Chains A and B, each alone.
Chain A
Amino acid sequence: MKELEPYWGRRALDFVEAIEASKTAANVISQFEKVINELGFHAYIMAGIPMSGQSLAELTIANGWPVEWFELYNRENLHLVDPVPKHCFNSLNPFEWKDVAYDRERDRQAHGVMMRARDFGLCEGFCIPIHYDDGIGAVSIAGERPYLDTQTRGALHLMGVFTHGRMRALSRPGVATSGRRLSGVEAEVLRWAARGKTAWETGQILGISERNVRWHIEEAQRKLMTNNKTATVATAIVNREILI
């Protein structure tokens, strides 16, 4: 194993330290944009890989793709044929777009996506799969002629994973943050309401009475100063007191 010249190693460690100290998602993402720019990448996306029935837009954590490309991609549900997100299911390691195998003759659609991406300057790309127990996400970055070698790949991998993690952490209601006012049960009841469950159904799910569920919703409503269940759920989502 050869020693790597540590310039990008140090840069990546400093970067991670800086974003761990950042308090806002906007600040984290602007640092990320800046650093990948230096390596010749002008576009990125951080998102969950859509499963059947899901769209990319609803799973996107950070969108740094050209606007038209993101719109086109969503409108035509290109994730269904794009070989890059598919490959994330088969790879624990990061990979370059060009290393994703697909049959150019038989899989015309896959080839089509890769060619259309080029129209937006997404010629060469690097993708970092993010594996959780219950889902897969990815950080994918692209540019016209990015600078990729063993060292910068390692640095991009590290910075990508930590940026993704930091973005998620900042969008999660922290236990320590004082902004959360709902109790655990109230948040739980609202989460089920957000998924369309009635008070009776929520009661069945949580093993408590329907009356009890209504009471928790009333309490949440009082705390959030809203006047009906829909508004309470909406406010709780906007305030990030619940995530769905």
Chain B
Amino acid sequence: MREIHVVQRDNRHLYEKYFDPYFRLRHDIYVKQRKWMALDRPDGREIDQFDTEDAVYLFCLDGGQLIGAMRALPTVQPTLMSDIFPYLSLRGPVHRADVYELSRIFVIPERRGEHAGPRIEMLLLTAIMEYGISIGLTGFSIVLESWWLPRFERCGWRAHPLGLPQMIDGMSVLAVLVDCDETTWKSLCRQIGLTNPTLTWHGLTGLNRQILPDISLLHSLTVQPVR
């Protein structure tokens, strides 16, 4: 059973055991596989200056194993865009209380492109919209590799470019602002057949959350062809 958990300052103590594997996975994926050597650390963990107590993580867990994750940072604080890639945004880095910056979006290699049930990538992209709506965000800023753009377009994420793509370490990268709204969330839920919100908010009862729109009837009319 795949669950997506919101992990932040107030409930991090409940997820301590996942953080070591989490940072090691990041090292495997970003340093060993993707060769982002600037992130290399001798201890085999990829932890950067943005992994602060204000960072929010979505952990996708399946049977106690971490199989995917993403990180969201409040843009009123330092972000990748403001501190590392300011030149990617022509109008300057985004600093807004209603926008979080997403980074380190990944699914472990053995669980990519699965055909049983919704794809984990799609599940994460849907879950972060649910998170954004729940806490009253209107957008996400992201510094990403440009080849992601058609995928966003296809799944219904509306991305607005903030500057020109530029080559960084041999890869075209750009900064975008993605709309976070109910329409996008509902359209994603419809595509992957979700009829209920997906997020688990263990130990976050103190958090003030917006009410989500009803999606229970979204999927009743579509039939997926059997593969």
Contact = CB atoms under 8 A, between A and B. Distances in A.
Interface of A: 1, 3-4, 6, 8-10, 12-13, 16-17, 20, 92-94, 129-133, 137, 150-151, 154-155, 157-158, 161-162, 164-165, 168-169, 175-176, 183-185, 188, 192, 205-208
The CB with the most chain B CB atoms within 10 A, among A10, A133, A161, A188, is that of: A161
Contacts of A20: 160
Contacts of A17: 160
Contacts, number: 93
Contact of A169 (B87, B153, B161, B174): B153
Nearest to B85: A1
Nearest to B221: A184
Contacts of B187: 175
Contacts of A94: 172
Contact of B149 (A12, A137, A161, A205): A161
Nearest to B156: A175
Contacts of B147: 92-93, 129, 131
A155 B150 contact: no
B155 to A, nearest CB: 10
Given A20-B160, A131-B147, A165-B153, 19 more contacts: A4-B164, A8-B164, A9-B90, A9-B164, A13-B161, A92-B145, A92-B146, A93-B167, A93-B170, A132-B154, A133-B113, A137-B150, A150-B166, A157-B165, A158-B161, A158-B165, A162-B149, A176-B183, A184-B223
Given A3-B87, A92-B172, A93-B171, A13 B150 contact: no
A205 B164 contact: no
Contacts of A155: 164
B38 to A, nearest CB: 13
Nearest to A12: B164
Contact of A188 (B172, B183, B222): B222
B129 to A, nearest CB: 15
Contact of A132 (B150, B222, B226): B150
Contacts of A169: 153
B225 interface: yes
B40 to A, nearest CB: 20
A151 B146 CA distance: 15
Contacts of B172: 92-94, 157
21 contacts: A1-B166, A4-B87, A12-B161, A12-B164, A13-B163, A92-B145, A92-B146, A92-B147, A92-B171, A93-B146, A131-B147, A133-B151, A137-B150, A151-B164, A158-B165, A162-B161, A164-B150, A183-B221, A184-B221, A184-B223, A206-B225
Contacts of B168: 1
A168 B145 CA distance: 21
Interface in B139-195: 145-147, 149-151, 153-154, 160-168, 170-172, 174, 183, 187, 190
